Amino acid sequence: MRKMLAAVSRVLSGASQKPASRVLVASRNFANDATFEIKKCDLHRLEEGPPVTTVLTREDGLRYYRMMQTVRRMELKADQLYKQKIIRGFCHLCDGQEACCVGLEAGINPTDHLITAYRAHGFTFTRGLSVREILAELTGRKGGCAKGKGGSMHMYAKNFYGGNGIVGAQGQIFEAYNMAALWKLPCIFICENNRYGMGTSVERAAASTDYYKRGDFIPGLRVDGMDILCVREATRFAAAYCRSGKGPILMELQTYRYHGHSMSDPGVSYRTREEIQEVRSKSDPIMLLKDRMVNSNLASVEELKEIDVEVRKEIEDAAQFATADPEPPLEELGYHIYSSDPPFEVRGANQWIKFKSVS
Instruction: Calculate what percentage of the chain has a pLDDT beyond 70.
Output: 91
Measured in degrees and rounded to the nearest 5, phi and psi for residue 260 equal -75, -175
Predicted confidence band of residue 3 (pLDDT cuts 50, 70, 90): very low
Neighbour tally for 295: CB within 10 Å: 9
- The reported pLDDT for the residue numbered 177 is 95
DSSP 76: H
Sheet holding 160-164, edge to edge: 114-117, 160-164, 156-157
Q: For the residues 61-80, what does the mean pLDDT come to?
A: 98
Domains of the chain, CATH where assigned = 44-332 (3.40.50.970)
Specify burial of residue 83 (Cβ count, 10 A radius: 0-12, 13-18, 19+): exposed
Could you list the beta-strand ranges (E) of 180-225. Answer: 188-193, 220-224
User: Which tens digits make up the pLDDT trace of 190-220?
Assistant: 999 999 988 899 999 999 999 999 999 999 9
The span from the CA of 320 to the CA of 324, in Å, is: 6
Q: How far is CA 89 from CA 133, 145, 155, 268, in A?
A: 18, 17, 15, 21
Alpha-carbon distances of 337 from 133, 148, 152, rounded to whole Å: 20, 14, 18
Reported as a pLDDT band with limits 50, 70 and 90, residue 16 is very low
Please, which pLDDT band fits residue 8 given cuts at 50, 70 and 90?
Answer: very low
Q: Is residue 352 predicted with pLDDT exceeding 90? A: no
